[in-house]
Amino acid sequence: MKKIILVSLLLGMFCFPASLLAQAEPEDIASNEDKFQDSFYEALRQKGIENYDKAIEALEKCQKEQPNNATVFFELGKNYFYLKNYDKAYEAYENATKIDPKNRWFWHGMYDVTYETKDYNKSITLVQKLIEFNDSYKEDLVSLYMYTKQYDKALSLINDLNETIGKSDKRELYKADILRDARYQGSEKDNLIALIKKNPKEEANYISLIYLYSSSNQEEKALQIAKDLEKEIPTSDWAQVSLFKYHLSNNDGEKAIKSMNIVLPSVKIDSKIKHRVLNEFLLFSKDKPQYDADLEKAISYFDNDKEVKVNKEIGKFFYAKKNWSKSARFLENHLKNTPDDMEATQLLLQAYTENKQFDDLSKKAIETIDLYPMQPQLYYYAGLGYNQLANFKKAKEFLEMGLDYLVDDIALEINFNIQLSEAYAGLGDIKKKETYFAKAEKLLKQKK
């Protein structure tokens, strides 16, 4: 909450009753003034060096001279506040307001106390008084309504401030928090509808209303607002987000692609929304090869995305679906820019294996060995590929090299021995074929 710093009042605020001046002798008046001013200056001095107790003692002397001086009560309030004696601070500030109710800072002193003690309900009453002096206190009132969970009042005030002075990040965060509760969405929908009628060219109101309808599963209404937005602002990229989803639900791929190709390159639309659009199109097109080119074009919009490696994620998606050729294609695209991604490489090598792309398999494995010469899996895949290509000599070389790096991985060791058995069979060395086959069988029994 934004707090306004209290300022010391000028000594010119001191006042002396006219009746006292008329009745006292000039020498007595001068003496009283001197005593008051000396004590007051002493109070300010002691406060300045943080001797708040001594400052209070000096102010109590001032009160003997002028018991109804509001400024003295105000200074007492400040010193009690610094001492964390909040009850006395509040009482002193309150006495100041009784003497001079038109001084904003006296009321603000009371507000400081209630805010510090977290008595937010009392703070609300005081801020409502302070708003009479300065409308900027409405920002404080929004926060106080949030603290006291008076969300309906907070939402109403936020909307009022948004319209009169413009939006702020803090208020928008408060508003988003309130609107997570469906109880308050109805009034906000009504508010947004009214704002759209008042200013049909304000894009942000349509967007907010689309989100509200979508979050409450009112898809038809969300679509209608998107259509209204497109009609009023034909150049709006945001209208296409909802229209894209609508076209997908109607199985209209061509229109969905048209909307998607407006959304994805847009600089106005948040990247999270773009990722959601891409994911929805991926699910829609996964069994429709006629849209492969459109999917690749969509992915190209994310080439510079540093947060999510889109080609890799889509490669993994198709890998899980056992669509090996598509998985391999997207993993290859990913590895062009990130050749040292070992996870993606292993997925690609297995996709090649499943898809019987043995030439690609052996080449990719050898290429990656240059980056990771101590990874036994790479030697295994190289050997496997060469075995399937009937190049048994090279298969044997890579498999034997890989065994040197193999540590505590029984499953991989079994596979190595099976491939070595095949390599030696291809080379005509039946004795070594049987030796490695026996090792594989023995390891299989151990694994069980």
pLDDT digit string (tens) for the chain, length 448 residues: 544 433 333 333 333 333 333 334 444 444 567 889 999 999 999 999 999 999 999 999 999 999 999 999 999 999 999 999 999 999 999 999 999 999 999 999 999 999 999 999 999 999 999 999 999 999 999 999 999 999 999 999 999 999 899 989 899 899 888 888 888 888 889 899 999 999 999 888 888 888 888 777 787 888 888 889 988 988 888 888 888 888 888 899 999 999 999 999 988 887 888 888 898 998 898 888 899 899 889 888 887 776 678 889 889 988 988 999 989 999 998 998 888 899 999 999 999 999 999 999 999 999 999 889 999 999 999 999 999 999 999 999 999 999 888 888 888 989 999 999 999 999 999 998 999 889 888 888 776 5
Collapsing DSSP to helix, strand or coil, 406 comes out as coil
Q: Residue 32: its pLDDT value, please?
A: 60
Radius of gyration, CA atoms only, the chain: 39
Cβ neighbours, 10 Å, residue 30: 11
Q: Residue 5: its pLDDT value, please?
A: 35
Are the C-beta atoms of 286 and 318 separated by less than 8 Å?
yes
Phi-psi sector, 84: left (phi>0), alpha (psi -120 to 50), beta: left
